[in-house]
Amino acid sequence: MAFPLQLLPSSSSPLAFSHSTVSTNPTKASSLSHKTTKLHKSIQLPNWVSGIRSKSLNFLLSGSLALALSLTGVGFAEGKAGVNKPELLPKEFTTVIDVAGFLSDGQEKRITKEIDALEKDTGYKLRVLAQNYPDTPGLAIKDFWKVDDNTIVFVADPTFGNILNFNVGASVDLDIPRSFWSRLAGKYGNIFYWKEKGEDASIEAAVMAISSCLREPVGSNNCSEVK
């Protein structure tokens, strides 16, 4: 699957089905329409893995559909001005970009080392961006990180309360249950946790939990616990 970078979540989500029913019987048509509407509501699951904060990445990275980090999902059309600030990118490639200053040098090195080992062992590419919207590279991270189906973009931004935001590539989405990401955000991203422990603690805990999850064998029970 191509990775055209699309924002999570949106009505174009593969799980957001749209049904249309044609019938010459008005009563039957009305009944079918009602059933279809109920079915649509029951299966329209958000691909934006952080669930309750489904529109936050729109604002965090670009503020509009212009960013469209095409990971599995959709985006809200409501927009702020898109952000594209390549000048905020580091001069050399790195898997961790901290424009908000949440991490110490030691923490950044530990996280980078963990990410490098994870990619070598599993092929999954975890990328971490710590920011305070609108101070973000925005669109520029797409080419800088060469985001693809095996990439998880982890945006740490306290702007919307929960500091953990995730965009998940299509291949990762097939292997990792979506409930894992919402549980992870609920455990380490809630405002009470990072206010007490610090943004850096939330980021480090999330990275280690993701690494642990991605190293588990794919199966019905993988990533059932947030460690």
- Report domain extents, the chain: 85-214
Q: What's the whole-number mean pLDDT along residues 182-190?
A: 95
- Cα angle 84-88-93, degrees, rounded to a multiple of 5: 105
Question: Residue 43: what pLDDT?
Answer: 35
% of residues, the chain, pLDDT over 90: 56
Which of 51-65, 69-83, 206-220 tops mean pLDDT?
206-220
CATH class as words, domain 85-214? alpha beta
Q: What's the whole-number mean pLDDT along residues 163-190?
A: 94
Lowest model confidence (mean pLDDT) among 41-50, 89-98, 137-146, 201-210: 41-50
- Strands lying side by side in the sheet with 125-130: 96-98, 125-130, 151-156, 164-168
Residue 114 CB neighbour total at 10 angstroms = 18
Question: Residue 219: what pLDDT?
Answer: 84
% of residues, the chain, pLDDT over 70: 64
Whether omega before 217 lies within 30 degrees of 0, making that bond cis, reads no
Alpha carbons within 13 angstroms on the beta-carbon side of residue 34 total 6
Higher per-residue confidence, 4 vs 109: 109
Question: Residue 30: what pLDDT?
Answer: 44
Question: Residue 38: what pLDDT?
Answer: 42
Q: What's the whole-number mean pLDDT along residues 20-31?
A: 36
Q: DSSP letter at 66?
A: T
Beta strands in the chain (DSSP E): 96-98, 125-130, 151-156, 164-168
Question: Residue 160: what pLDDT?
Answer: 83
Alpha carbons within 13 angstroms on the beta-carbon side of residue 37 total 6
Q: Model pTM greater than 0.75? A: no
Encoded tokens for 99: 């424009």
